[in-house]
């Protein structure tokens, strides 16, 4: 009941504090996406699902008609902390948004005071501080499983507007409005403004059905990344975080599929430069069978995000990544050769959030 009241309060408070769109500004649209000759688009609605197939642990070998990716230049990389393992890899690891897991005895059993404080903040209009406080509680990893799930649920409700809606919540350090200039394109905006997200995320959160039909003077919401993810192997769950270190905020959880016989490697990884692919081809390393980019039986699905290990225990990992699947029933199971798999709509979202050279993926054993 308390969670229900908190969610209601969150919805009411965020609606009240968000400014209403002005004339000429972009708002969410329920129209279906249309094709664009200037840029391929990812609509608000998820892409259609393909027929079932099996996912394998091997990198794709080719990209067909890959959309323009946004890759931040080295000078805008997040601050990093040096370690022997990362020095060996030639790249320092970005601090993880979460601490090591506590023992069972250390975990608390009640979050009612925490939720009550968050509800007070939300009713007072301080949704940003409520999200920060709840995210900090999750990051400490001292909550019981049920309590952590409840906190994640509340934060997901808040982030439907704060992150994935077109409005800018006052005081939110991760978002801002941008006025489109003559000659702008979404890909140019994302690159020039250093958002550390794919340009398709701008399209998604602003409800733009055709990226070629944006006009000078329109205002769009930008999210300043980077986004990172944590994969909990025990719960078959991928958690999305926004920001760095102790300031990171929880965004969303997604269900995943993992490798058979516990073959999904653990530790810290970084999204490889040049490692993101849309509509990739793939060759099965066990059988040699090749699947073309547009083959409906291609086990990789529509998106591939290649990862490089940056811990001492996973520096040797090659061919490991996050990708889609055309076998949705395998989500929540150990059925691949080792890769992390997501459903169609979820991999499309994660592809837009994570950027090459910036985003960190932490895979936890439990």
The overall longest dimension of the chain from CA atoms, in Å, is 61
Going 320 to 324 to 326 to 328, the CA torsion angle's sign is positive
Residue 236, Cβ density class (10 Å: 0-12 exposed, 13-18 middle, ≥19 buried): middle
**CB-CB contact of 27 with 208 (8 Å):** no
Cα–Cα distance measured from residue 185 to residue 239, given in angstroms and rounded to the nearest whole number: 30
Cα–Cα distance measured from residue 359 to residue 227, given in angstroms and rounded to the nearest whole number: 6
Average pLDDT over residues 317-327: 90
Cα–Cα distance measured from residue 340 to residue 363, given in angstroms and rounded to the nearest whole number: 10
Cα–Cα distance measured from residue 55 to residue 71, given in angstroms and rounded to the nearest whole number: 27
Q: What is the pLDDT of residue 122?
A: 96
Q: What is the pLDDT of residue 98?
A: 53
In this model, does residue 327 exceed pLDDT 60?
Answer: yes
In this model, does residue 173 exceed pLDDT 60?
Answer: yes
Q: What is the pLDDT of residue 97?
A: 52
Rg (CA), the chain: 20
Average pLDDT, the chain: 79
Residue that wins the pLDDT comparison between 84 and 5: 5
Average pLDDT over residues 297-315: 92
In this model, does residue 37 exceed pLDDT 90?
Answer: no
Residue that wins the pLDDT comparison between 259 and 56: 259
Phi, psi of 63 (to 5 degrees): -120, 135
- Under the banding of pLDDT at 50, 70 and 90, the label for residue 103 is low
Considering only 210-224, 245-259, 308-322, which range has the smallest mean pLDDT? 308-322
- Under the banding of pLDDT at 50, 70 and 90, the label for residue 91 is very low
Considering only 11-25, 123-137, 139-153, 165-179, which range has the smallest mean pLDDT? 11-25
Phi, psi of 277 (to 5 degrees): -135, 140
Cα–Cα distance measured from residue 264 to residue 336, given in angstroms and rounded to the nearest whole number: 9
Q: What is the pLDDT of residue 101?
A: 60
- Under the banding of pLDDT at 50, 70 and 90, the label for residue 283 is confident
Query: pTM of the entire structure?
Result: 0.75
In this model, does residue 266 exceed pLDDT 60?
Answer: yes
CB neighbourhood size of 34 (10 A): 12
Q: What is the pLDDT of residue 92?
A: 42
Q: What is the pLDDT of residue 112?
A: 94
Going 341 to 239 to 351 to 317, the CA torsion angle's sign is negative
Phi, psi of 182 (to 5 degrees): -60, 135
Cα–Cα distance measured from residue 167 to residue 219, given in angstroms and rounded to the nearest whole number: 11
Token pair in block for residue 28: 């969410």
Alpha helices for the chain (secondary structure H): 2-17, 84-89, 112-123, 127-139, 145-162, 186-192, 199-205, 344-353
Phi, psi of 186 (to 5 degrees): -60, -40
Residue that wins the pLDDT comparison between 94 and 174: 174
In this model, does residue 68 exceed pLDDT 80?
Answer: no
In this model, does residue 187 exceed pLDDT 60?
Answer: yes
Average pLDDT over residues 332-359: 95
Cα–Cα distance measured from residue 262 to residue 127, given in angstroms and rounded to the nearest whole number: 40
Percentages (nearest 5) of helix, strand, coil residues in the chain: 30, 20, 50
Of the candidates 118, 159, 355, 130, which has an alpha carbon nearest to the alpha carbon of residue 253? 159
Residue that wins the pLDDT comparison between 33 and 165: 165
Residue that wins the pLDDT comparison between 257 and 62: 257
Cα–Cα distance measured from residue 173 to residue 128, given in angstroms and rounded to the nearest whole number: 9
Residue that wins the pLDDT comparison between 285 and 78: 285
């Amino acid at each position: 009941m308390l969670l229900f009241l908190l969610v209601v309060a969150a919805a009411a408070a965020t609606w009240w504090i968000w400014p209403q769109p002005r004339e000429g500004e972009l708002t969410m649209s329920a129209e279906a996406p249309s094709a664009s000759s200037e840029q391929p688009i990812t609509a608000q609605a998820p892409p259609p699902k393909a027929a079932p197939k099996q996912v394998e642990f091997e990198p794709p070998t080719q990209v067909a008609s890959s959309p323009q990716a946004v890759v931040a230049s080295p000078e805008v990389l997040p601050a990093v902390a040096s370690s022997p393992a990362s020095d060996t890899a030639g790249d320092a690891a970005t601090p993880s948004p979460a601490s090591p897991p506590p023992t069972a005895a250390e975990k608390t059993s009640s979050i009612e005071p925490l939720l009550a404080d968050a509800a007070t903040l939300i009713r007072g209009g301080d949704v940003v501080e409520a999200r920060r406080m709840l995210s900090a509680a999750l990051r400490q990893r001292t909550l019981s499983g049920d309590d952590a799930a409840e906190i994640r649920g509340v934060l997901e409700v808040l982030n439907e507007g704060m992150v994935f809606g077109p409005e800018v919540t006052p005081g939110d350090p991760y978002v801002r409005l941008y006025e489109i200039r003559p000659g702008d394109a979404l890909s140019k905006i994302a690159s020039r403004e250093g958002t550390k997200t794919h340009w398709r995320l701008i399209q998604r959160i602003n409800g733009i059905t055709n990226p070629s039909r944006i006009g000078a003077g329109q205002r769009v919401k930008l999210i300043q990344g980077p986004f990172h993810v944590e994969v909990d192997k025990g719960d078959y769950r991928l958690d999305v975080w926004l920001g760095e270190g102790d300031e990171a905020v929880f965004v969303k959880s997604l269900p995943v599929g993992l490798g058979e016989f516990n073959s999904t490697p653990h530790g810290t990884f970084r999204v490889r430069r040049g490692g993101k692919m849309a509509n990739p081809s793939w060759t099965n390393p066990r059988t040699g069978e090749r699947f073309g980019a547009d083959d409906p039986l291609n086990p990789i699905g529509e998106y591939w995000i290649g990862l490089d290990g940056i811990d001492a225990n996973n520096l040797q990992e090659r061919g490991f990544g996050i990708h889609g699947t055309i076998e949705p029933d395998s989500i929540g199971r150990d059925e691949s050769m080792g890769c992390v798999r997501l459903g169609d709509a979820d991999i499309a979202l994660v592809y837009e959030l994570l950027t090459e050279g910036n985003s960190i993926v932490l895979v936890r054993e439990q």
